[in-house]
Amino acid sequence: MGAAGAGAQLPQPAQPTLPTSPTLGTGVAPAGAGLTAAGNGTDNGFAGVLGSAIDSLQAAQSGADSLATQAATGSLTNVSDYMVAAEEANLDTQLTVAVRNNALQAFQQVMGMQL
């Protein structure tokens, strides 16, 4: 909300953002709907969500790996390319592990429930 307000005060380039501002108020509900739609698209279960997350993590890591190979063979043209790819793979790994840990924690809480 604050970002949209600041954008509206900008001169010329911010003009196209003005029509989007009214839709910002309804942002929460459609975003939730989009989440469930994405879940339906792949798999309803947690396994599907985690599986697609691991797939994207794999893609990020293999991208970083190929740049690391370029760095080793001397064909890397841009140092920052590799560092950014490695950093994104690192953050992606941390995110996936955090999601897995939290889900496992929730599962164990359910399993430990007294009936």
Instruction: By CB under 8 A, name the binding residues for another protein.
Output: 4, 7, 14, 16-17, 20, 23-24, 26-27, 30-31, 33-34, 37, 78, 80-81, 84, 87-88, 91-92, 94-95, 98, 102, 105
Burial of 89 (0-12, 13-18, 19+ CB in 10 A): buried
Q: Are 60 and 92 in contact (CB under 8 A)?
A: yes
- Looking at the Cβ atoms of 22 and 115, the one nearer to another protein is 22
- Looking at the Cβ atoms of 18 and 47, the one nearer to another protein is 18
Neighbouring CB atoms inside 10 A of 101's CB total 10
Query: Which residue's structure tokens are 């790994």?
Result: 93
The CB-of-44 to another protein minimum distance in angstroms stands at: 18
Give the residue among 101, 103, 95, 104 at the shortest CA–CA distance from 54: 95
Here the tokens at position 47 are: 């396994």
- Looking at the Cβ atoms of 35 and 47, the one nearer to another protein is 35
The CB-of-75 to another protein minimum distance in angstroms stands at: 16
The CB-of-22 to another protein minimum distance in angstroms stands at: 9
- Looking at the Cβ atoms of 110 and 115, the one nearer to another protein is 110
The CB-of-17 to another protein minimum distance in angstroms stands at: 4
CA atoms within 13 A on the CB side of 100: 13
